[in-house]
Amino acid sequence: MNNANFITWDLLEIVDDLIIHHSKIKSLYLFGSRAYKTNSMRSDIDILAITEGVISMSEVNLWLHDKYPPVDLFLSYDEMNAMSVVNGSVVSFRNTGKYDDLIQQLDAIELWDRERGLSTDYTEWNFQTANNVIFQMSIIPSYPMINFNEALANAMANLEASGIKTFFAGSTWRDISYSIVDIIETVMTKPIKYQRRARLFSFDLIKIYNEYDFQNLIHLTLRPIFRDIEPENVVIRIDGSEKKADFGIANNKIIIETKWIDSISKKAEVIKTLDGLKNFYSENVNVRCLIFIILYKSTIDIDQMLLNYKFSYEKSMPQIIVRFIENMYD
């Protein structure tokens, strides 16, 4: 029942819609302020979904926010990490011995389970929100979706018209990742005009002989823009083993891996490695985009367009961007 002051939301209807739309959901839990019955009419409805395999957040956002604006759905397929479909925030299980799992850590209340059905212990199926609260989806960092892109485009156009050249990496992880790729590709193109009287730092003197040289150039290039770029950071731990990425940005939401090809055998090895790393990183729900930059010697026969297309997956989770780049500083 709705009136001028509040809106009532049927949690039974929300649960039913979620399991109809997304068959990979195994169980649903309520957590946060609504689970603690604070009776706040301005709070989100935080729901944890345990899934079998990855559910695309874009698929959820096609319908959930429009139909149920207060709902913030957190997806988890490993019961170790859960990511919000609304703003990308992550809650992770802290294995300190205090809690057995993420569900217990969140003090979450079971609403529905594939085998057991609806919970018979939970009875508070209706929630109310104040009628004047607007629950807006947010994008990086926290801007409202409504008219944001239009307002940004107008602002950028006004600056350009004034003669001010601007740089904006993007408002989505996908756009930011493509900006990163574009920056690296530009850096690897030697300019026609440059200061030729330099003694120690010159485009004629720069040499890249292995992937570590390449990594340092990437680090030098991206650091002024992405201040939190971190080399050799741990991204995921599986069975006691740690996987370190060459670079992580924004708390590992964007991962950059570099490879070096200087022989036919190395080419075969790198191509074999690409799929394995993609599958490995999919174990971390925090990773939103994985960028592979493969630098190769001009003497190695590489079909850039074919390989870039073959190994890039724009609709996967995480998104995969692959770029083969010829080494111009050989």
pLDDT tens figures, 273-311: 887 766 666 666 678 899 999 999 999 999 998 999 888
Angle at 111 between CA 105 and CA 112, to 5 degrees: 115
Q: Is 182's pLDDT higher than 70?
A: yes
On average, the pLDDT of the chain sits at 84
CA count, 13 A, side-chain hemisphere, 8: 8
Q: How many residues does the chain have?
A: 330
Task: Give residue 313's pLDDT.
Answer: 82
Domains of the chain as residue ranges with CATH: 6-130 (3.30.460.10), 173-326 (3.40.91)
At residue 311, what are phi and psi to the nearest 5 degrees?
A: -105, 0
Mean local confidence (pLDDT), 22-43: 86
Residue 146 pLDDT > 60: no
Please say if the pLDDT value at position 139 is more than 50: no
When pLDDT is averaged across residues 230-234 and rounded to a whole number, the result is 82
Which of 245, 42, 23 minimizes the C-alpha distance to 128? 42
- Is the confidence at residue 144, as pLDDT, over 70? no
Among 258, 254, 259, residue whose Cα is nearest residue 281: 254
Angle at 29 between CA 135 and CA 79, to 5 degrees: 105
Minimal CA–CA distance to 41: which of 86, 89, 9? 9
329, 208 contact by CB (below 8 A): yes
pLDDT at position 263 is 92
The pLDDT value recorded for residue 163 is: 76
Predicted model pTM: 0.56
Q: What angle do CA 100, 47, 284 make, to 5 degrees?
A: 60
